[in-house]
Amino acid sequence: MSGLSRTDRDGVAWLALDRPDRRNALTIDLLRDLRATLVSIQDDPAVRVVVLSGAGEAFCAGADLKEFGPAPHPGQRLARLRLVAQVLSQIRELEQPTIAAVNGPALGAGWGLALACDLCFAVSGATFCLPEVAKGYRLPSVLVHRLSQVVGPVRAAEIMLGAATYDTEQAVTFGWVSRVLPDRQTLTEQTWRFAVELAARARPALAAAIQPLRRDPTREPSPPAEYAWIEE
């Protein structure tokens, strides 16, 4: 089993990273399964909202460093990095709004999954860290861009280069978490409630509202196409 579970209810697809014994660390198989699931969700008219969470006490500990043994081949790490980048991009490109329900530590690519979502709710006590650069590993560019989009390039540089651990109070202050809930049960209940409320709305309206927020202004034509002057 790859370690991914899915629950569908009232227009919401709840995806849970389900490797609690490994703190939901990301393997090649799990990333491939997540990628395939996101493709199927994109084309599923019954799904209006997507939630991503973790099983157990962690959201995601990042890449599973034990997957390839004590001396991984550089090609193996690169393949996993590419898969992470693909999954993060797929989350950003979904037509449906996405919510991360961060039920515990979110590290490395795990934090990237949460950042890729449109909204992030977190349990009190959750922590966030990007340790890759300090350990000599690469970060996928889509994660770097998304972090910069959320917190600004200067603070993003400090977060990536400094490899510090951030708590939920800092997460709210810096802008990547919008709600902090007191415990995991409350996090699950409130995330379900909010997601179902959103799913009751028309999917085209949800898509039209969320898509402009995902755009990279530096890559937009000037002016954006929808505001281009039309000569009569």
Q: Are 109 and 144 in contact (CB under 8 A)?
A: no
pTM of the model: 0.91
The reported pLDDT for the residue numbered 232 is 36
- Of residues 38 and 228, more confidently modeled: 38
132 in catalytic set: yes
Residue among 164, 31, 140, 134 nearest 78 (CA):
140
pLDDT in tens, 107-137: 999 999 999 999 999 999 999 999 999 999 9
- Of residues 232 and 192, more confidently modeled: 192
The reported pLDDT for the residue numbered 65 is 83
**One-letter identity of residue 68:** F
Annotated catalytic residue within 132, 158, 220, 232: 132
Q: Are 25 and 60 in contact (CB under 8 A)?
A: yes
Comparing 39-53, 168-182, 205-219, the range with the smallest average pLDDT is 205-219
List all residues 6 or more positions away from 49 whose beta carbon is below 8 Å from its beta carbon. Answer: 11, 12, 13, 96, 97, 98, 99, 195, 196, 198, 199, 206
Residue 167 CB coordination number (10 Å) = 16
The reported pLDDT for the residue numbered 72 is 67
Fold (CATH) for 4-214: 2-enoyl-CoA Hydratase; Chain A, domain 1 (3.90.226)
